[in-house]
């Protein structure tokens, strides 16, 4: 049985996460524009702003440091390319979740308060997720994959 292309699987997963954030943001905009959910009071807005900024900052900083550590562990692993790719995939999924979580929280903040600052924060997280999209050439270099390992990960050998 032929293995699926590991690079494409990772790209599809990333695209699904990115599109889900975009779709949720569009739904939020529609809900707010049609006034289907009333805006909350200013007290919740101030508290939620503080929470969103703190969560965003902590998750981005901690997430990137964790990702970097896990990526280096994958790079330095002496196992086969498939094992290094599994470690890298796990690092990416964790990193993307730590980008997406605060973005979704900010979108909920926008829905509840109708404050565009929350939507701007959500768009920032969408942009971050877009920037950290997986690229085959980068993965090959980062993981020190041989041409034979790349072929196996692509499902051609």
pLDDT digits (tens, 9 = 90+) for 100-128: 999 999 999 999 999 999 999 999 999 99
Q: Is the pLDDT of residue 40 over 90?
A: no
Q: Is 81 a member of any domain?
A: yes
Question: In this structure, are residues 154 and 3 in contact, taking their beta carbons and an 8 Å threshold?
Answer: no
Looking at the 3D structure of the chain, how many domains does it have? 1
Q: Is the pLDDT of residue 156 over 80?
A: no
143 by DSSP, 3-state: which? coil
Q: Is 35 a member of any domain?
A: yes
Confidence of residue 143 (pLDDT cuts 50, 70, 90): very high
Q: Return the pLDDT at 2.
A: 65
User: Residues 6 or more apart from 74 whose CB is under 8 A from it?
Assistant: 84, 85, 87, 88, 91, 142, 143
Q: Is the pLDDT of residue 73 over 70?
A: yes
Q: Is 45 a member of any domain?
A: yes
Measured distance CA(75)–CA(73) in Å, rounded: 5
Question: In this structure, are residues 122 and 49 in contact, taking their beta carbons and an 8 Å threshold?
Answer: no
Q: Which domain holds residue 131?
A: 6-154
Q: Is the pLDDT of residue 39 over 90?
A: no
Q: Is 57 a member of any domain?
A: yes
Q: Is the pLDDT of residue 97 over 80?
A: yes
Q: Return the pLDDT at 44.
A: 87
**pTM, full prediction:** 0.91
Question: In this structure, are residues 14 and 135 in contact, taking their beta carbons and an 8 Å threshold?
Answer: no
Q: Is 129 a member of any domain?
A: yes
How many residues are given for the chain? 157
Confidence of residue 140 (pLDDT cuts 50, 70, 90): very high
Q: Is 1 a member of any domain?
A: no
Q: Is 30 a member of any domain?
A: yes
Q: Is the pLDDT of residue 1 over 70?
A: no
- What percentage of the chain has pLDDT greater than the value 90? 87
Question: Mean pLDDT throughout 50-76?
Answer: 96
Q: Is 26 a member of any domain?
A: yes
């Amino acid at each position: 049985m032929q293995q699926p292309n590991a690079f494409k699987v990772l790209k599809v997963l990333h695209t699904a996460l990115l599109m889900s954030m975009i779709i949720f943001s569009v739904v939020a905009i529609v809900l707010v524009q049609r006034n289907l959910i009333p805006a909350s009071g200013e007290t919740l807005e101030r508290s939620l702003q503080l929470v969103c900024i703190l969560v965003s900052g902590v998750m981005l900083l901690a997430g990137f440091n964790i990702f970097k550590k896990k990526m280096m562990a994958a790079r330095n692993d002496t196992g086969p390319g498939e094992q290094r790719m599994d470690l890298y995939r796990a690092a990416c999924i964790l990193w993307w979740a730590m980008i997406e979580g605060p973005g979704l929280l900010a979108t909920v903040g926008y829905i509840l308060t109708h404050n565009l600052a929350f939507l701007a924060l959500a768009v920032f997280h969408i942009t971050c997720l877009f920037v950290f999209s997986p690229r085959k050439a980068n993965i090959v270099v980062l993981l020190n994959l041989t041409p034979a390992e790349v072929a196996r990960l692509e499902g051609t050998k």
